[in-house]
Amino acid sequence: MDAIFFLFSFLILGFIIHTLYKGIIEKKKNDKAPILRIPVVVVEKRVITSTSTNRDN
C-alpha cells in the first residue's frame, strides 16, 4: 500500500513539475517573439451570442 501511495505521489509531483516547466518555456518563447503592429479594420461586431450546447434542431 505504501509503494502505491509513493508511486502515485511521485507521478502527481512529476506532472506538476512538467506543467510548470512547459509554462516557463512557453513564456520565454513568447517574450522573445516580436510584437506585430498590423493595422486592422473592424467590419462587424457580434451583438447576440449563444452559449447553449444543446442543439435539438
Position 55 confidence tier, pLDDT thresholds 50, 70, 90: low
CA distance 11 to 22: 16
Query: CA–CA separation, 35 vs 24, rounded Å?
Result: 19
More confident residue, 52 or 3: 3
Residue bearing cell 509503494: 3
Where do the structural domains in the chain lie, given as residue ranges? 1-49
HSE-CB for 29 with a 13 A CA cutoff: 6
Tell me: the pLDDT tens digits for 13-49? 999 999 999 999 999 999 999 999 999 998 888 777 7
Instruction: Tell me if residue 11 falls in helix, strand or coil.
Output: helix
pTM score: 0.55
The cell numbers describing 14, all together, are 512529476
Q: Tell me: the pLDDT tens digits for 5-14?
A: 889 999 999 9
